[in-house]
Structure 1
């Protein structure tokens, strides 16, 4: 499909659809170029005329803020966490939660690092409460947990976060299986099953 055809199709989009398309196009470019990304690069990636960016957002900075707001929005992530089946085996459930958290933390921190951003954009609600969601997911395994589900959820989030940020983990990366094993069994491995005492002599 040629650029001219893409441009013709883009003109038929609503403002909201065009904005969403530009946000999707600019996000990988921000990870690669940071704030140095040009409107020409964005337009070429989206297959539109450069002027379309300014009609949709007004400025490159406004587009960047919109892309950051979308990535920092916690609700889509919460929805994916809520979709984790509470009836899964505990190990599979924790691994699924870890994978979701690592994916979110890795992308958000990579984007913030590329943009040189210290905190979320002005006006963004930073109150991300996931403990209750994870606590409900872990509740069916209460008898296997040594701590309350809410505390277990805090531990999962804390370890997944630390493992996802390069300057915090300060060493080789962890995969989902390693993190899951660390959360469930610590650094000494799964506890050995109790041995049966020999029967007293008769």
Structure 2
């Protein structure tokens, strides 16, 4: 005689909401506005009604996923976690990788949903510039610009290299973007023995 496996403990509403946001984010990138609650439920391995018990409407779930992507605090925390003692090249490479991942994800979701322009709570000063400036401050003697200006340059180049509309079909690796930031288009890479 076989026995039924024990049911998993039910998730709290907050845990269920977090799980659904995790599930819906890649689906938004794939399906955009055409995303259905059936697709969400299938990917999450739950009944469709569970979505509505957690969020009320599909739009509320989508907005929660967008809000999570736009929340700058986790991203700032990841930027601040870059080891300030790394060589400049390694720091800039780590910054570029994080920024391009964030920009690509945010712009892909917003475009898929047909949303354009900055979010309502957009900070035009870009506090990220300060965080980036702090990351390169130990290397000021090697920089052609001050820390804040360098942070702005890193942000601008990483942003434009992440946007299909600006790249015009060209693709850049994180290493290429890092080299453009550090050495420009006519500079030479330093001797590897010196880095």
The correspondence of residues 1-202 of structure 1 with structure 2, limited to 5 A, is 8-9=7-8, 12-119=10-117, 125-127=121-123, 128-190=126-188
TM-score normalised by L of structure 1: 0.86
* Unmatched 5+ stretches in structure 1: 194-202
Deviations 1:22-62 (A, max 9, x none): 11111111111111111111111111111011111111111
1:77 positional shift: 0.6
* Unmatched 5+ stretches in structure 2: none
1:12 positional shift: 1.0
- Distance, in Å, in 2 between the alignment partners of 1:76 and 1:59 is 26
1:182 positional shift: 0.6
Say how many residue pairs are matched.
185
- Distance, in Å, in 2 between the alignment partners of 1:139 and 1:68 is 32
Aligned-pair Cα RMSD in Å: 2.0
Contact 1:72–1:120, Cα closer than 8 Å, also in 2: no
Q: Whose Rg is larger?
A: 1
1:197 maps to none
TM-score normalised by L of structure 2: 0.89
